Amino acid sequence: MKKSLFTIVSAAAVLAVGAAHAADKVTLQLKWVTQAQFAGYYVAKDKGYYKDENLDVTIKPGGPDVAPEQVIAGGGADVVVDWMPAALAAREKGAAMVNIAQPFKHSGLELTCRADTGIKTPADLKDRTLGVWFYGNEYPFLNWMGKLGYKTDGSPGGVKVLKQGFNVDPLLQKQADCISTMTYNEYWQVIDAGYKPEQLVVFKYEDQGVATLEDGLYAMEDKLKDPAFVDKMARFVKASMKGWAWARENSDAAAKIVLDNDATGAQTEHHQKQMMSEINKLTAGSDGKLDQADYERTVKTLLTGGSDPVITKEPVGAYTTVVTDKALGK
């Protein structure tokens, strides 16, 4: 049976409309494993905020063997969550990453000490053993020690640095007087291990004036030359910030959404609810736009981070507000 011309034309029209409205694909690479640290993105997907912006978003979890800088430079993601020290270091080495949004307004990095060591102020850190994360996370610490006038080579009058894994064992086993923790993660691991808050002394890097920006969104510079890509990223940021806002208003429910997306089954509801409540403090006050003063503080910290700074010169073109301006309707 022959099909009528009307049927053929109608079918073609339907296909054309479908193609015109096909959702734009976006791949997001996280800095770490699925946890409440990234709740805003999982919420935005779960609640249909990305779909509302005509986006089809794939969220790729990270881990100890995943470097977001390498993933995006290799074309494995459109946008990544990264800390600014790592992104600026990668940029200086040739991977032209650009900060397009900054959902995290505050830093969660801190140094947690056992109170029984007698440490009460930064001056008491002298001649102590301190656990420090490396792989780019050491630079705020080195800058802080530089400000205090403490050498980090273990010589008398300075501090001894213990290269810390991503756990709290050095504190629990008393191999170190203090260790690196995040407000939303390792600190609570210490608490869950049996320590009470009054048995700990905590120094927040933000309070010491050496905090660097964490968990920003980065895209490659060449892609940002395409207006269509900028528009796609603006819609992505708009929906993501809506996800973060929902997470702040619905903390426990957001934690459960994260758990639903944890394919490993490694996360617990107790820990994710703890983490979510702390993460919400870090995103509070952010509309997604990078604050110039926060950026300048980060760059200054990285340029003066001890004898081996993470960057050797002032970055140029390392951030843009074009995406957030569009997302915010400016």
Q: Over its length of 330 residues, how does the chain's per-residue pLDDT go in tens digits?
A: 445 544 544 554 444 444 457 999 999 999 999 999 999 999 999 999 999 999 999 999 999 889 999 999 999 999 999 999 899 999 999 999 999 999 999 999 999 999 999 999 999 999 999 999 987 678 789 889 988 999 999 999 999 999 999 899 999 999 999 999 999 999 999 999 999 999 999 999 999 988 999 999 999 999 999 999 999 999 999 999 999 999 999 999 999 999 999 999 999 999 999 999 999 999 999 999 999 999 999 998 888 766 567 788 999 999 999 999 999 998
- DSSP E strands in the chain: the ranges are 24-29, 55-60, 79-82, 97-101, 109-114, 129-132, 160-163, 178-182, 200-204, 216-220
Q: Is the dihedral of CA 228, 231, 236, 239 positive or negative?
A: negative
The three-class DSSP label of residue 115 is helix
Q: How far is CA 190 from the centre of its chain?
A: 22
Contact 26, 79 (CB under 8 A): yes
Q: Which of 36, 84, 83 is nearest to 61 (CA)?
A: 36
Q: Which of 296, 294, 297, 257 is nearest to 273 (CA)?
A: 257
Q: Which of 149, 174, 176, 182 is nearest to 163 (CA)?
A: 176
What are the structure tokens assigned to 193, written together?
A: 């291990």
Contacts of 44 (CB under 8 A, 6+ apart): 50, 57, 239, 240, 242, 243
